[in-house]
Every structure is written in C-alpha cells, then in structure tokens.
Amino acid sequence: MAVVRGCNIPEDLSYNVENNVWARREADGTVTVGLTAYACSLAGEIVAYTPKKISKEVAKDKSCATVESGKWVGPVKIPVTGEVTQTNEAVSAKPGLINKDPYGEGWIVRIKPNDWNGDSVSLKTGQDALQAFEAKMQSEGFKGCH
C-alpha cells in the first residue's frame, strides 16, 4: 500500500480524488465505495452514517450517504452511477469503523453500476492517483494523516 503524507492510498483502487472517495470493482460486478484515509483525517472521528436506501439509484458525483463528525457533516459522493445494493450494517452500528479501516470494514455502500467502463474512465489509479492526492494535499495545505 502506498502512503502520501502519512495517508494510506491503496494503489489497486480507483479514486475520485476531488471527492476523496474510492471504488473497487468486485468479482460479481458490483462496486464497493468508501472514503479515503485523507477524507477521514480531514473529517475527524466519524460519529454518524446515513446511507441511501437499498435499490435507490444514485447518479455519479451525487451523495450515496451522509457522514458526520464533530467538525463536519457532508455527503459521500459516489464515483460512478448505480443502484445501491448494500449498506454497511457494521458502520451503522459503529460509524468510527470508517476512520479505523476506510478501505476494509469501513466501506460506505455497494452498488450495481450502470456503466462502470464509461464512468470509471475519469477515476485515477496507481501512480496517477498518488500524484493527484499529493497535488491536492499540497494545494489545500494539508500537513498529513495522523
């Protein structure tokens, strides 16, 4: 796993860097979506998680969930259009899982994408993602994950 300014950025995921979200295509064709470690560091400890309902259609760059921390309430913007097929019950019970394991147990939603091949073209992966996060962190004056 790569690290940018102390933030874990797995190189095998696809990222919408602007919205601080990741996507992983699963073997069954669904896509798991979550917040990046960078987003978690900016937000602080997440205390509430309100996902969209299962079977809800969510357009790319629109909210698939709302998360709340002590200093921030905001949308988790989905990186590809699709239908919500699963929400994370473990995170509903314990929202702090998003901070503790953003790329594992702390995922936000799973969706059935409408057009993964078309929508995912704009997502960054590997070295491109790492460079994009470094540039974003620099422009935002971000000191690093802790």
Query: Could you tell me if residue 39 is inside a domain?
Result: yes
Dump pLDDT digits (tens) for 61-112.
999 999 999 988 999 999 999 999 999 999 999 999 999 999 999 999 999 9
pLDDT recorded at residue 71 = 85
Query: Could you tell me if residue 74 is inside a domain?
Result: yes
Dump pLDDT digits (tens) for 102-117.
999 999 999 999 999 9
Query: Could you tell me if residue 16 is inside a domain?
Result: yes
pLDDT recorded at residue 42 = 94
Query: Which CATH number do you get for residue 84?
Result: 2.40.50.100
Confidence tier at 146 by pLDDT (50, 70, 90): confident
Query: Could you tell me if residue 89 is inside a domain?
Result: yes
Query: Could you tell me if residue 131 is inside a domain?
Result: yes
pTM: 0.97
Dump pLDDT digits (tens) for 116-143.
999 999 999 999 999 999 999 999 999 9
Dump pLDDT digits (tens) for 16-64.
999 999 999 999 999 999 999 999 999 999 999 999 999 999 999 999 9
Could you list the residue range(s) of the whole structural domain that residue 62 is in? Answer: 2-139
How many domains does the chain divide into? 1
Query: Could you tell me if residue 144 is inside a domain?
Result: no
Contact 36, 9 (CB under 8 A): yes
Counting every residue written for the chain, the total comes to: 146
- Neighbouring C-beta atoms of residue 12, cutoff 10 Å: 11
Contact 66, 73 (CB under 8 A): yes
Query: Could you tell me if residue 146 is inside a domain?
Result: no
Query: Could you tell me if residue 145 is inside a domain?
Result: no
